[in-house]
Amino acid sequence: MASRRRLPRAVPHFTGNNFIYPVRPAPFFAAYPLVGTPLLPTPLPGMNLNIPAAAAWPQHLANHAHCRMPTASETPAWPSQPPIPIEEGIVEIPTDTPLWTPGVFPPKPFGTPVPIQINPSLIPNPNNPTIPQLQWDILHCPEQARSYTGRSILKKVNLKETAVFPSTKKVWIFPHETNCPVLGYWMRRWGPIIIDLKGDLKVLDILDQVYKYFYVPLTDADLDAIEASRSVVNPKPMKLLRLAALKRAEDAYELPDYSTKQFRRIDVLGTFRCWGGVIPVVMLDGTWRLLLTLLPYPVPRVA
């Protein structure tokens, strides 16, 4: 992998866990001390400051170039609770019943009506999301994935099982940005994973498309963006990329001359190669999608 040309520094990037993503500029009020911050004014009788005027609020947003009204296709309708930080490993389990509806995350009491269910092997582990039920390094083909049982045994996954119920032929996979910011940054650049088949969607179809998506070589524009991220915090972004690529080549079941031939998308993820699961989300406009999570944990190697 030859050295790339140097470009002027542009967007600053943060590097941690051997991954690369841009650092958002601090809010305008971040530099000011919080001591002595004024209290919320006392509202007049009959006035609720938490509810903006119905006519003024949309117009107020429209007058600001940096703000735009969220659309129905961008607003989740189900599940209603905010995203759960998977890396904390804390999930609220239904306590009023020993059973919960399969294929749903976060868990719901058994019998709760849900609009869509995902194969239980594909969702995050309801008991501990930091230990995925599907032990899979996305560097390897789906046949290398293993199911982690309740007795801590690894066994082969039935890749021919239906992936979604009710069955479907098309699905879009987006990043779960709450749990994996680096994935969110790069997938916004590359676009979602789109699966459109003639038959019903199987577990193999989802894993295979995820594998192929991150196996795509990085473009010159991608490399330019990484080079341009040079900053005081990250003075050598290409060095981190090369280290990740060499680690990928070392772990891959490929000939070294072939695996080191070019950079691939998976290289920008650093250690975030462990499958964390997909979560179904239904939007206000009736569309739905899967949110993909990757984790920075090692995966057992299988022969």
The phi, psi pair for 201, rounded to 5°, reads -75, 130
Return the closest-CA partner of residue 87 out of 187, 180, 20.
180
What's residue 108's pLDDT? 85
Distance CA 287, CA 149 (A): 33
Distance CA 88, CA 128 (A): 9
Sign of CA dihedral 209, 212, 217, 218: positive
What's residue 202's pLDDT? 95
What's residue 201's pLDDT? 93
- Strands, E, within the chain: which ranges? 13-16, 19-22, 76-78, 117-118, 134-135, 146-148, 154-156, 164-165, 170-175, 193-196, 274-283, 288-295
The set of residues, in sequence order, having a beta carbon less than 8 Å from that of 85 and lying 6+ positions away, is 178, 179
What's residue 82's pLDDT? 66
Q: What is the pLDDT along the chain (303 residues), one digit of tens a residue?
A: 544 543 334 444 444 444 444 444 333 333 434 444 444 445 456 545 455 444 444 444 444 555 566 777 778 888 877 666 666 656 666 666 677 888 888 888 888 888 999 999 999 998 888 899 999 999 999 999 999 988 889 999 999 999 999 889 899 999 998 888 899 999 999 999 999 998 899 999 999 999 999 999 999 999 999 999 898 888 999 999 999 999 999 999 888 888 888 999 999 999 999 999 999 998 888 889 999 999 999 998 876
- With b for 16 or more beta-carbon neighbours within 10 A and e for fewer, the 10-37 pattern comes to eebbbbeebbbbbeeeeeeeeeeeeeee
What's residue 73's pLDDT? 76
Distance CA 264, CA 260 (A): 10
What's residue 185's pLDDT? 93
pTM of the model: 0.76
Owner of token pair 């209290």: 39
Distance CA 135, CA 298 (A): 9
Return the closest-CA partner of residue 114 out of 106, 122, 125.
106
What's residue 72's pLDDT? 75
What's residue 240's pLDDT? 92
